[in-house]
Amino acid sequence: MIAIYPGSFDPVTLGHLDIIERASRLFEQVIVSVLCNPRKSPLFDVPHRIAQIQACTGHLPNVAIESFTGLTVEYARLRGAGVLLRGLRVLSDFEKELQMAHTNKTLCDELETVFLATSTEYSFLSSSVVKEIAQFGGMVDHLVPVNVAQDIYRCFNKTPPAATPNITP
């Protein structure tokens, strides 16, 4: 069974990586599918995001990384995927994810959405949180793969460890 794992991955976090590693043990093939969304202005462009994910998943032979545009269900059809994989962190994810799963089901009945519960240590983690911390000079080494942390520090022109906070009375 082929599973696609679609997302923005801007950037990939240790939470995403945890899902990818666990999914690679459950499915014959996992395709991490980076959404190329022309309406969003991402921190990293799509080729960069693909390279970042490739660099931290090289040890998983049944995992491939690629990008797509348009509807996820159409992309899944083209790839012959039977499963659309998503990670679930907290209850607030559930509403949006369930709506997406139901919508996708109306568009393609053969594609099953499968949720993997995010490991508890990553339940708070999101790409947005990582970007916000990095923006203010905080350390993100414990949140993203090593190669991604380096890219982020370079991008924000920061050097770890965390810069001293600027306090205005």
Considering the rule CB under 6 A, would residue 104 count as an interface residue with ligand PNS? yes
Residue of 24, 33, 49, 89 marked active site: 89
The DSSP output letter for 10 is T
Considering the rule CB under 6 A, would residue 101 count as an interface residue with ligand PNS? no
Considering the rule CB under 6 A, would residue 6 count as an interface residue with ligand PNS? yes
Run of H or E residues at 117: strand 112-117
Considering the rule CB under 6 A, would residue 72 count as an interface residue with ligand PNS? yes
Q: How many residues would you count in the chain?
A: 169
Residue of 49, 127, 131, 158 marked active site: 127
- Count of CB atoms within 10 A of residue 124's CB? 12
Q: Which of 8, 24, 57, 118 binds ligand PNS (CB under 6 A)?
A: 8
Considering the rule CB under 6 A, would residue 128 count as an interface residue with ligand PNS? no
Least distance CB 104 / ligand PNS (angstroms): 5
Q: Which of 26, 45, 47, 71 binds ligand PNS (CB under 6 A)?
A: 71
Buried (b) or exposed (e) across 127-149, using 16+ Cβ within 10 A? beebbebbeebbebeebbbebbb
Considering the rule CB under 6 A, would residue 13 count as an interface residue with ligand PNS? no
Please give the size of the binding site for ligand PNS, defined by CB under 6 A: 9
Q: Tell me how far apart the alpha carbons of residues 115 and 112 are, in angstroms, rounded to a whole number.
A: 10
> Could you tell me the sign of the dihedral formed by the alpha carbons of 67, 37, 120, 142, in that order?
positive
Q: Which positions lie near ligand PNS, rule CB under 6 A?
A: 6-8, 35, 71-72, 100, 103-104
